[in-house]
Every structure is written in structure tokens, then in C-alpha cells.
Amino acid sequence: MRKHGLKMNPLKCAFGVTAGEFLGFVIHQKGIEVDKNKTKAIMETRPPSNKKELQSLLGKVNFLRRFISNLSGKTKVFSPLLRLKKEEEFRWDQEH
């Protein structure tokens, strides 16, 4: 690593471990999983009350897209809300 000018922070390194957290995911011998705290935070989020909050929620869900099959199909119901103009009312219904 020194040959290529790379430096490591010993406080951030972990060697000889069977699992660890990296970029919000849990990496272990069987593969990659979502950190349970990430999913819990999304599940406990209150319903969005405006377009910006919906965009924020979808951004968080999109972070987990590799673990959710057909995510675009499942989030299609939000498309009309994302197309709202400023003067139009944002309405979160039961279908959402």
C-alpha cells in the first residue's frame, strides 16, 4: 500500500473479523445484508406531508433497492404525488 501512496487509519481498520459494517450494510461470509437500524428508521418514519418529504423517503428506500425486488413497480403509486406542482395539494391517502 505504501508503494501506491495509500495510508490506512488503524482506528478504522478491522482484520480477522467474520462480519462488519461497511457503508450502511452488514458484510459477512454469507453475503451482504441491510443494517437493521436502516430498515427500522424507514419503517418508523411518519408519512410524508409534502413532496420534499416524499422525495426524501424515496431516497432512503432507494438506498436499499438491491434488496427489494421490483422496487420501481412498488413505488409507482407515488408518481402522481411527485408530479404535483407547488400550487397543487399534496394528499397522502390509504393507497399510499
Q: Are the CB atoms for 90 and 84 separated by under 8 Å?
A: yes
Instruction: Spell out the domain ranges in the chain.
Output: 2-82
Determine the Cα–Cα distance for residues 55 and 48; give it in Å rounded to an integer: 9
pLDDT value of position 15: 86
Reduced to 3 states, what is the DSSP secondary structure of residue 48?
coil
Contact (Cβ atoms closer than 8 angstroms) between residue 15 and residue 23: no
The predicted structure's pLDDT at residue 2: 81
For the chain, 96 residues long, give each residue's pLDDT as a single digit of tens: 788 999 999 888 888 888 888 888 999 989 999 988 889 999 999 999 999 999 999 999 999 999 999 999 999 999 999 999 988 999 998 877
Entry pTM = 0.72
